[in-house]
Structure 1
Amino acid sequence: MKVYNYTSSEQEIIDTYDKENHNFWTDKVKELTSLRLNLRAHYLVEQKNRCCYCKMLKQEKHGSTWDVEHIVPKSPFPRFLFEQNNLSLCCKECNDAKSDKSVFIDSNYDYKNYPLDNKKYSIIHPHLDKYSDHMIIRMSPDGKIMHIPQSDKGKVVFYHCDLVRFTMQFFNVEDLDLNLLITYSSFIDTVPNLTHETAKAFFTASLPRVLPAEYIDC
């Protein structure tokens, strides 16, 4: 994923930041409006309208859906507020859940320079890691998704970003399988000459599928 390159006017504003007071991000809302919009537009394209943590596809482009994400949280590491590799885009739900949680393996180390070694991070880093190496996503026929961690990084993202909320939605009704069987049985009744292989193909197509890596690696 390509980082966003600041314009000269944006860089002038950034150069006034003391790298200590992270509230600069909210205090300078008017001055940073253009930068926020440009960051959102850039990462919507780079991430294909998917949150960097849950990979939920959202077609909206406004700020009430998306947050510019500081991967290393602003509060404990204000010096990384405008570090290009520290910025991405995530949904409001993931951002609220992640909040200021630690993203480093050594949460007590005070990094002076932004680490570009992915081994330093406890989470799936949007710029430094391949998402599909750490997480599998299954999608049900009705579009619900469920995350299955494949590594320690995947587990941390799962808990940091409260991805269990998707699992709960995925299994929202206890009679999901019953509904599926009823629907399938009704379909079989309407096609009396259906062959075994065709019936099997239709049934398989109705089951949750694993999303391909190209869907989530962005």
Structure 2
Amino acid sequence: MDAAWTALGLSLKVAMWATLLDLLLGVAAGYLLARCRFPGRDLLDAVLTLPMVMPPTVLGYYLLVLIGRQGPLGAWLQSSFGINLIFTWQAAVLAAAVVAFPLVLKAARSAFETVDVQLEQAARVLGVSEFAIFLRVTLPLAWRGVLAGVLLAFARTMGEFGATLMVAGSIPGKTQTLSIAVYEAVQAGQDDTANLLVLITSVTCVVVLVLANRLTPSRNPQQ
């Protein structure tokens, strides 16, 4: 029982950090793609959306190549700061963030594209800085779509399995999230443990979806 709650706590921690990363990077990338015109924009959009259609194990392999001890980023972190990401909860955060990133990106881009650019231009005429325009005009008008993407990303990171297993492994209490704990319990023939973990996972996902419905206001004021 304690192991199940430990896995739940770790899953929530990984999901929150991964979602925060996706919020910052996804909103920035979504705004860039929605507002800027430059050569290769469609190619960049396709590359950033790849995690949505690519098998998680393939993403995990790419991450291993990148952040492994022999990888370019992993070797630099090890030699410069003594940091080893592989088989840590931080690696699980990175894997979950990569997998869920397109959900925030697509939602943010669509939301920013629906904002009337004339409102932004009016703010520029009044001498408002670009950063202030983003915070005071664009983001408040696009927050519904951004929030929807963030909540979906959180739900996705809670259930991430393939990429996380590749780069973080399954270390109880350290990197074993709920989805990985379910897999390990089934492999070991521990049906009671697996049923408990599945129940916790299902309830958690339902709670997240209910919160998503409550926190995302309806566009129809009569609803």
TM-score tier after normalising by the smaller chain length: under 0.3
Length-normalised TM-score, structure 1: 0.27
Higher radius of gyration, 1 or 2: 1
Bigger share in helix: 2
Bigger share in strand: 1
Length-normalised TM-score, structure 2: 0.26
Higher relative contact order (CA 8 A, sep 6+): 2
